[in-house]
């Protein structure tokens, strides 16, 4: 049986290790292929919204992923939601936004979700994605977004310990919520640290995305 090829499209190198570890744990039979275009993240940070030029780049990367024989595409950067939706319409394979599967899981757990995020340009798009999923699953669901200042700068500098500590500290201060979501693939490296400080369910994008891909490709 051929291994399903999953194209992982990264806008920053800090997203690679968490999804690599998630595939090793949750779907070792798959063939993940890394496509890194690390000018996307800084270019997105320079603009208030996703531009046509950025959308064209997301579409081109998706079509390249299809060209190399991928069975599905998973984007690992949270700041390109609408562009990814447009790109998905140009190919005949599943294309997943980073957080859609995680948000689905969170909403099904209850109405109150906390989202810990570290990259400010991604917040608005992620909240919009959450509301779209909520409209489909549970319109009463709500999301509370908490910026973890300094965390992404720490992990970019190679200081994973500080990143994880900051995210866990933010989680420990949360009130009564039904689920905690770690907003970015890069934030998933704090999963164990966050689980250590809370009794609430903690969800990460890589694990949820892989579970959804397995279902879409009949590998459950």
Query: Tens of pLDDT along 152-189?
Result: 999 999 999 999 999 999 999 998 999 999 999 999 99
Beta-strand runs (E) in the chain: 5-10, 31-36, 72-75, 95-96, 112-117, 142-147, 179-182, 202-204
Cα separation, 217 vs 210, whole angstroms = 10
Res 219: pLDDT: 77
pLDDT for residue 211 is more than 60 = yes
Give the per-residue pLDDT at 106. Answer: 95
CA-CA distance, 170 to 26, in Å (whole number)? 27
- The alpha-carbon radius of gyration of the chain (Å, integer) is 16
pLDDT band at 13 (very low <50, low <70, confident <90, very high): very high
Q: Is the full-model pTM beyond 0.85?
A: yes
Please report the pLDDT score of residue 125 as a whole number.
87
Please state the rounded mean pLDDT for residues 194-198: 97
| pLDDT value of residue 164 | 98
Pairs from 58-63 (Cβ < 8 Å, separation ≥ 24): 58/9, 58/83, 58/84, 58/86, 58/87, 59/83, 59/86, 59/87, 59/90, 61/9, 61/35, 61/37, 61/87, 62/9, 62/87, 62/88, 62/90, 62/91, 62/95, 63/87, 63/90, 63/91
Q: Please tell me the number of Cα atoms within 13 Å of 186 on its side-chain side.
A: 27
Angle value at C-alpha 63, between 62 and 68, nearest 5 degrees: 100
- Mean per-residue pLDDT over the chain, rounded: 94
pLDDT at 1 over 60: no
pLDDT of 68: 98
Q: Compute the CA torsion angle 120, 123, 124, 128 (nearest 10 deg).
A: 170
- Residues 55-83 have pLDDT tens digits of 999 999 999 999 999 999 999 988 898 99
The pLDDT-based confidence of 220 (bands split at 50, 70, 90) is: low
């Amino acid at each position: 049986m051929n291994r399903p090829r999953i194209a992982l499209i990264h806008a920053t190198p800090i997203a690679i290790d968490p999804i690599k570890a998630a595939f090793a744990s949750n779907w070792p039979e798959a063939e993940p292929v890394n496509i890194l275009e690390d000018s996307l993240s800084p270019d997105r940070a320079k603009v208030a919204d996703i531009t046509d030029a950025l959308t064209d780049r997301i579409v081109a990367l998706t079509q390249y992923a299809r060209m190399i024989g991928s069975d599905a595409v998973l984007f690992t950067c949270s700041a390109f939601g609408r562009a990814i939706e447009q790109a998905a319409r140009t190919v005949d394979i599943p294309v997943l936004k980073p957080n859609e599967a995680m948000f689905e899981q969170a909403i099904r757990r209850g109405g109150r979700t906390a989202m810990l995020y570290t990259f400010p340009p991604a917040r608005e798009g992620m909240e919009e994605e959450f509301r779209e999923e909520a409209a489909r699953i549970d319109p009463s669901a709500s999301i509370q977004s908490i910026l973890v200042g300094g965390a992404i700068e720490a992990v970019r500098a190679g200081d994973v310990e500080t990143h994880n500590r900051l995210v866990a500290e933010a989680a420990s201060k949360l009130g009564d919520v039904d689920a905690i979501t770690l907003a970015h693939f890069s934030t998933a490296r704090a999963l164990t640290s966050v689980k250590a400080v809370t009794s609430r369910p903690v969800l990460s994008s890589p694990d949820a995305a892989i579970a959804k891909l397995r279902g879409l490709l009949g590998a459950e």
